[in-house]
Amino acid sequence: MAPDAPACQTIGFLLLDQFTLISLSCAVEPLRMANQLAGEELYRWQTLSLNGQPVWASDGVAVTPDASTLDPLNLDAVVVCGGIGIQQAVTAEHIAWLRNQARLHCRRLGAVCTGSWALALAGLLDGFQCSVHWELMASMQEAFARVTVSASVFTLDGNRFTSSGGTAPLDMMLHLISRDHGHELSAAISQMFVYERIRNERDQQRVPLKHLLGTQQPKLQEVVALMEANLEEPIELDDLAAYVQVSRRQLERMFQRYLFCTPSRYYLKLRLTRARQLLMQTSLSIVELGVICGFVSTPHFSKCYRDFFGVAPSDERADMRLHPPLASPPPLHAPAPATPRSTLEQARDEPTFASVRIQRRCS
C-alpha cells in the first residue's frame, strides 16, 4: 500500500445535472471489484448532490444520491461527475462546497468527463495539468489560462486526478488503485472486467488518426495532425507538402482519394468546427473567434461559417440566447430506498472473493 493511502478511503462522487452514467460507472465499479478481490473494504463511496434530491443523467435516468453536500461528510476524495452542458450545470453552491472540501477535508480532488470544468472554475486546478472530454478542451484552454489542459485520456498530477469521458475513468481508477494497493490488484480487476489493455497517461483520448481517417496513409495522418495543431496560424499547403516530402499535387491527390475533399477544404472544416465549439461553449466575441481560428477578417470568417453551417455565427449565438438549454425535469419524489446488503457482503458469495493478496508496507 502506498505510504499515504489509508486502510479504507471514502470517495464522494458529486453528480452534476446531465452527468454521464458511463463515466460514473467506470469510476465506481473498479472500487467495488477492488473490495471483492481483496476480501476487505479498501474503498467506500457515496453519490452526492447539493440538496440530496435526484440528479438527472444525460440519458434521462434519475439517480437518487446517497447523501447531500449539506450532510456532515468525512471524505478522503471528491470526484466531480460532469456531462452535457457543464457550464450551466455548475452553480455557485457547487463551487463553494468544492473549495471548502479542498480547504478543510479532502486529500484528493478528481473529475470525470467534463467535471474538470467545475474544478477549474473553483480555482482548484490552477497550476495543475488536467484531462477533460475532447469536446470541451478548446473551451477550457480559452477560459482557464492557469490550467494546463492535456489531451491524455486521464491525468494524475499531485493530488489531482482527472479523466476524459467514456471508459477513460476506468483506466484512471485502475492506476490509482495500483498506486494505493499494488499492480497485482489492478491487473486482477482488469481481468474481471475483460479489459485487455489498461491505458496510461501517454494515451491520447482522441480516436487514432488512422481510424478517424479510415486509412493507413502515414503522410496523410501527419499532415492532418499538423493541421489540427495549427488552427490559429494555418500553415500554407506548400509548406505542409514539403514537411512530409511530397509535392503539393501529390498532397491534393491524397486528400481527394482518402478524404474526398481538397486539403484547403479539410483545413477549413477543422478551423470552423473549433470555432463552432467555442461559439457554443464560451462568451468569446465573433471577432475573437475568428482570430483564434485563423481567419484574417471577421467578414471572411462569418461568410465561411455561414457557407459551411448554413447560418451566420452571430445568428447562431442569438438563437442560443433565445432558446437556452431546456431545464431539467421536476424533482422526483422517490420512495425511501431499502437497505440492501453492503456490496462487500454481497461479494462474499463470489468465487473471486479475497483472491488477491494486498501488498502491505510496514510502518
pLDDT at 138: 79
- Dist. CA 180–CA 165, nearest whole Å: 23
Closest CA to 11 of 222, 228, 29, 226: 29
CB 198, CB 190: distance < 8 Å? yes
The domains of the chain, with CATH numbers, are 9-204+341-347 (3.40.50.880), 209-310 (1.10.10.60)
Taking alpha carbons only, the member of 149, 33, 14, 152 closest to residue 86 is: 14
Q: What amino acid occupies position 92?
A: A
The confidence score (pLDDT) of residue 331 equals 45
Give the residue-averaged pLDDT of 318-333.
55
Mean pLDDT on 141-163: 94
Per-residue pLDDT, 358: 67
More confident residue, 304 or 356: 304
Classify 241 as helix, strand or coil.
helix
* pLDDT over threshold 80, residue 236: yes
pLDDT on residue 277: 87
Kindly report the average pLDDT of the chain as a whole number.
88
